[in-house]
Amino acid sequence: MKRLFNICALLLLIVVLTVKCKNSDTEEVVPVVEEPKPLVAFDYKIPDPVKYQEVQFTADPKNYKSLLWQFGDDSTSVEVSPKHVYRFPGTYRVILTIRNSQGYSATKEINLKVVDPNFDPTKYGENYMVTVGGKFSVNLEAGAGADSNEGSKKLVDQNVNTKFLQAGFDGTQRCTFELNTPQVVGAYTMTSGNDAADRDPRYWILQGSLDGIQFTDLHTVTVCPWENTNEGASRKQTKLFHFDNYIAYKFYRLYIKSNRGSRIFQLAEWTINKKQP
């Protein structure tokens, strides 16, 4: 009986293997058809110059299943040709990415400048050090003190004929103005001293802070804007700088990292201003 059971089991196994082999021989392999690769292109325009922050994007994607716009201001869209409104002027990195169903993708990106057509780079607004007021301090003072003839207070006295001079300059000069109330500063001025061009600031960073502890870089200059002459038009010359900022900081700091090589630092005047009148 046991022998008969083994013979039946063997016959059953042979039948199963035969059927499986037959099915394997007749099974058709369906080839995977590769889809066309995605192609992406887009353009943009500002329909109304008065509403210069409204930008109409027009895309021409091909061979895609999904798409994603990234407008550079933490906003996104899945529309083919969206209209986007930027809150502030500035330069934004716009990216359009498309994908087909097989995971292939194509991307196009641009740097989009959103500019106020009424902006005048030759003009700037009120000096908040005067109109709002506050406290001024420096980390490295003139030898004779803040109230001396070339003390730090001369830097914010609204007089280009005086100056702040600090001997022993080491690239860590920090001049800080704490406003009585926070303001959105978008421009500032700096006026060179009356002599010794090698004392002029060459590399500096304007910074802003809400609490006077953590500072954010707002504007950086790495090339001295004044001519390297000890007399003439470059002396007691005021330079104007604009930058994009939309946060009302309470503290603004001028961080001087280098001058033209002197061990003495000097600057006649510094103001922080509203961007436009």
pLDDT at position 236, please? 98
Beta bridge partners of 44: 57
Where are the chain's structural domains?
42-114, 128-273
Kindly state the average pLDDT of the residues 214-227.
98
| CA dist 102 → 30, 34, 65, 74 (Å) | 16, 8, 9, 27
What is the residue whose two structure tokens read 């299943």? 65
Q: What are phi and psi of 16, to 5 degrees?
A: -60, -45
Kindly state the average pLDDT of the residues 183-212.
98
Residue pLDDT, tens place only, 91-103? 999 999 999 999 9
pLDDT higher at 46 or 16: 46
Please tell me the pTM assigned to this model. 0.77
What does CATH list as the number for 42-114? Answer: 2.60.40.10
Q: Is the pLDDT of residue 6 over 80?
A: no
User: CATH for 128-273, among 3.30.70.1230, 3.40.710.10, 2.60.120.260, 2.40.30.10?
Assistant: 2.60.120.260
pLDDT at position 10, please? 54
Q: Which residues contact 206 (CB under 8 A, 6 or more apart)?
A: 188, 217, 218, 219, 220, 241, 243, 252, 253, 254, 255
H-run or E-run covering 198? none
Contacts of range 70-75, beta carbons closer than 8 Å, 24 or more positions apart: 70/94, 70/95, 70/96, 70/97, 72/112
